[in-house]
Structure 1
Amino acid sequence: MAFLAKFLKTAAVAATALGLAAGAAQAEKKDLTLAYVEWSDTVVATNIVKTVLEEAGYKVKLVPLSGAAMWQAVATGEADAMVAGWLPATHEAYNAKLKDKVVNLGPNLSGAKIGWAVPTYVDITSIEDINKDPAKFDGKVIGIDPGAGLMKASENAIKEYGLKVKLVEGSDATMVAALKDAYSKKEPIVITTWTPHWMFAEWDLKYLADPKNVFGGEETVNTIVSTKLKEEAPEAYKILDNFSLSLDDEQKVMVENNKPGADPAATAKAWVAANKAKVDAWMK
């Protein structure tokens, strides 16, 4: 009887332990929020990550924000992650302020850059050349969303080069629309831009030289997650830590997204299905 009592007690302890283990497994966070900015490249990367996380069993919500709000959302835990941390220059101010409140998992894309560009038919080669005839560009540089790191750098460029131009706020979409209109008429235009972006595949453009190095050199795009993610959703953390794309990968999907009627969620799913080996490596 003593043996039976001991056996039952041991079984009960084991069952309790199994129950706790099962409870711990069930407690893993399965609802995730990804913050992003509605830039062409970030839309691609974010939708690809969303697709992969969903295939791993997570429910993923995407929240479009400004650059500053995107970083803040991850820092406060309102968002679990974002894959659009441009460093070391573009998002330097956000990173300096919030780096102790987030976890930087490192680059998910290399070879990125920001700056100003013009169509190749425009006969200037440097930012300095704009001051030779600002009126040719209607005294404007066509920008994107206010508060973006690229816009802050552009404001600095106007000061550093003493340019007699106004930086026009807008969005990725309004900047591209202005470029498309000017290009169709072969009119001069200066735009704020970055690589990767599908418009370099669509039109013949050239970056303007930046002798004062206001826009910095080559950058990386980094995956930034909340400080709690590794504990709350370790599998998602692993996938995000392993996630990476090439410039070619991203720009090809951006071109697909630019086609009439394209759905970024659908193009992301198609890319994931066609790149199983790359995706499988993120799961390891």
Structure 2
Amino acid sequence: MKHRLLLMLALLLSACSPAEQQHIRLLSGDWDSARITTELARLELEQAGFAVTVEQVAPGKIWSALAAGEADASLAAWLPDSSRHHAERFFDKLHDLGPNGPVLKLGLAVPASAALGRISELAGSDYGGHKVVGMMPGHGSLVLTEQALARYHLDEYQLLSGSGEAYRHLVNTAIEQQLPVVIAAWSPSRVMLHPQLKWLKDDQGHFAAGERAHTLVRRGLEDSAPRAMEVLGSIRLTEDELTALLRQVAAEPDLTLAVNRWRAEQTEAEPVQ
């Protein structure tokens, strides 16, 4: 009888204990580095036994959705400067697992054939029709470019915003047709793999330094899916690794295939223990 009571008690306790979460919801942006790191996370989580869904959302939505518990994690948030206003509202409701990629270079880029060499030389010129090609509103590069343009007193320049696909299309069209264009750029990025582009020197140092993509997760995931937290926290790409992935994706339109090829290459390159 005593053993039967102990067994019943154990069954009741196990029934009351929450089962480990098996489904992970990831939020991504639609720019290449975000898509790549999110796909890498998806594949690693699935290998660890989780079911994973990925949703592409606007940068600001990442913060609010995670804070509200509407998703579990994102590898696409930039910190510390471009997301400062979101961090002030939501940071204490999230866990920051740290950077998942290298320090980003931010600035303005132009065709390599352009006579311009410095950002300050844009002042008083009409290069690019007083337009700067940028990413979607809220994206880190657009936020920081807008701030830098104001500090350079380039008030006549208008920032054009659009999706990641529109951004790449405008840049590629300008390069193919040899048009004068100013680009709100960051690196590593697929756009800045173009040898036909060059950076304008940030001669007054107005662009933020130290910006990196971070992995954010909702509060409570450490209890409901600790193994997922471990997998997400382990994703940390060097500049060379992210650049290699970007080249792989540029050559292979199937994102899953491209990232899996890179993963296979990393496995083959690992030394035998």
TM over 0.5: yes
Match of 1:137 in 2: 128
Q: Which shows bigger deviation, 216-225 or 43-52? A: 216-225
Aligned to 2:210: 218
Does 2:139 align with 1:148? Answer: yes
Code of the residue aligned with 1:181 in structure 2: it is T
Pick closer, same or farther for the CA change 1:242–1:205 going to 2, 3 Å.
Answer: same
Q: CA deviation at 1:204?
A: 3.2
The amino acid of 1:238's aligned partner reads E
5 Å-filtered alignment, 1:185-196, equals 185-196=177-188
Q: Which residue of 2 aligns with 1:5?
A: none
Contact kept, 8 Å, 2:107 with 2:207, in 1: the verdict is yes
Q: Deviations over 1:16-66 (max 9, x none)?
A: 426744874x71111111001111101100000000101111111101011
| Aligned mates of 1:276, 1:22 — CA distance in 2 | 40
* SS class of match (1:275): helix
Identity of aligned residues (%): 28
CA 1:225/1:13 → structure 2, altered by over 3 Å: closer, same or farther? same
The 8 Å contact of residues 52 and 272 in structure 1, kept in 2 or not, is answered as: no
1:161 matched residue in structure 2: 152
What residue is the counterpart of 1:9 in the other structure?
2
Task: Out of 234-243 and 157-166, give the one that drifted further.
Answer: 157-166
* Mapped partners of 1:86, 1:113: distance in 2: 12
**What SS does the corresponding residue of 1:258 show, helix, strand or coil?**
helix
Find the counterpart in structure 1 of residue 84 from structure 2. Answer: 92
SS in 1 for 2:216: strand
**Residues 194, 96 of structure 1: alpha-carbon distance in 2 compared, 3 angstrom cutoff:** same
- Pairwise CA RMSD: 2.3
CA distance in structure 1 between the partners assigned to 2:70 and 2:106 by the alignment: 28
Unaligned runs of 5+ in 1: 1-7, 280-284
1:282 equivalent in structure 2: none
Q: What residue identity is the alignment partner of 2:33?
A: D
How much does 1:151 deviate? 1.6
More helix by share: 1
Distance in structure 2 (CA, Å) of the matches to 1:14 and 1:36: 46
1:211 to partner: Cα distance: 3.6
Q: Aligned to 1:99, what secondary structure does the other structure show?
A: helix
Shift of 1:234: 0.7
- Does 2:168 correspond to 1:176? yes
Partners of 1:138 and 1:146 in 2: CA distance: 21
Instruction: Answer yes or no: is the 8 Å Cα contact 2:104–2:212 preserved in 1.
Output: yes
2-structure distance, mates of 1:16, 1:242: 38
Instruction: Check conservation: 2:248, 2:262, Cα contact below 8 A.
Output: no
* Structure 1 counterpart SS, 2:104: strand
1:265 corresponds to: 256
Structure ID, larger Rg: 1
**Structure 2 counterparts to residues 12-161 of structure 1, below 5 A:** 12-14=5-7, 16-17=9-10, 20-21=13-14, 24=17, 27-134=19-126, 136-161=127-152
Is the CA contact (8 Å cut-off) linking 1:175 and 1:191 kept in structure 2?
Answer: no
CA distance in 2 between counterparts of 1:165 and 1:149 reads: 18
TM-score (norm 1): 0.86
Once the 2 structures are TM-superposed, how far is the Cα of residue 97 of structure 1 from its aligned partner? 1.9
Q: How many residues align?
A: 269
Q: State whether structure 2 residue 261 is matched by structure 1 residue 275.
A: no
- Tell me the distance in 2 between the aligned counterparts of 1:275 and 1:13: 50
Q: What is the Cα deviation at residue 271 of structure 1?
A: 2.5
Gaps of 5+ in 2: none
Judge which range, 78-87 or 175-184, deviates more. Answer: 175-184
Q: How far did residue 278 of structure 1 move?
A: 9.7
